[in-house]
Amino acid sequence: MRAPCLPQGGVIGICSPSHVAERGRYARIEAGIRALGFQVREADNLYRDTYGYLATPEERAADFHQLLYDDEVRLIFFGGGEGGNELLPLLDFDAIRRHPKRMASFSDGTTLLCAVWAKTGLETYYGPAPGCFEALTDYDRAQFLHHLVLDDAVSHVSSGPWHILTPGQAEGILVGGYTRNFALLLGSPYFPCSLEEKHLLFLEDHQQFGGVDYVSAMISHVEQSGFMASVTGVLFGHYAPTPPPELLARLTRLGEKYGIPVAYCDDFGHGENHAVLPIGRAARLDTQAQTLRYL
């Protein structure tokens, strides 16, 4: 299921499941969104810090539902941080099916985006977050417009050459996100993903959050889950300006162990580029040709 696209000049609803929004920064973010021709609607508890570090799960879930039920809001937009998983028991997934909206985020947003897709079948969008609009790049602008507004993206647009770690071709349903959040979601009741389907897994991480040993441990968690049996290929996003050879070697071993194509790129993640990856979209990965095409 795919929600209607965001019309030019439409309303973008902003909430914050994983951090307390800072008014000065969000003023700049919203100015950037309006400069692109869209309207902005803030959820009621966007700036609330009830716990000192976050609003309560109930307040944050109320914000999400507020935007969901608002007929004028066409995109629910939120950033990362910590704690988005606290909302999962409070979300009305039946209401999400009845009121499908486009949803976009990255980082800690992985949990909500993947859970919404797995529980409802609604396609969600990994890559952009409100913070991108503080200083929007040409690459991010094009990704946002083609995936969320024009809805005419037929293939992934890379920001530069990929590192081909294990060559090959694979097809499957795109799913993934920030490595830790995706790994911790596996096996929970909020990710009832069918293992009879084939999946193309995309992951990303960043050196500011942990070394290669940490990333390797998260990958091992994914490997030790039943989900790995359904993975036909892996695309790993930006980790550092120059990817450590140890990380590339770890990803190469992953591909060789399972006999699947694996590549590393700088197209998405916590770096400069925020390509949009539609969670729930069927796609074909060809690491040797460095392409990801939507089916």
Rounded Cα distance between 132 and 114, Å, is: 21
- In tens, the pLDDT along 36-75 reads 999 999 999 999 999 999 999 999 999 999 999 999 999 9
**DSSP structural state of residue 226:** G
pLDDT value at residue 194: 86
Instruction: Supply the mean pLDDT for the chain.
Output: 97
- How confident is residue 12, by pLDDT bands cut at 50, 70 and 90? very high
- In tens, the pLDDT along 127-168 reads 999 999 999 999 999 999 999 999 999 999 999 999 999 999
Average pLDDT value for residue range 26-39 = 97
Residue entry with tokens 């007929």: 71
- Within 8 A by CB and 6+ apart from 86, the residues are 57, 60
pLDDT value at residue 47: 97
> Does residue 157 come out as left (phi exceeding 0), alpha (psi in the -120 to 50 range) or beta?
beta
**pTM of the model as a whole:** 0.96
- How confident is residue 25, by pLDDT bands cut at 50, 70 and 90? very high
- How confident is residue 77, by pLDDT bands cut at 50, 70 and 90? very high
pLDDT value at residue 195: 87
pLDDT value at residue 175: 98
DSSP 132-193: GGGS--HHHHHHHIIIIIS----B---SS--EEEE--EEEEEEEEEEHHHHHHHTTSTT---
The domains located in the chain, with CATH, are: 11-149 (3.40.50.10740), 163-294 (3.50.30.60)
pLDDT value at residue 193: 86
Closest CA to 46 of 73, 69, 72, 27: 27
pLDDT value at residue 207: 96
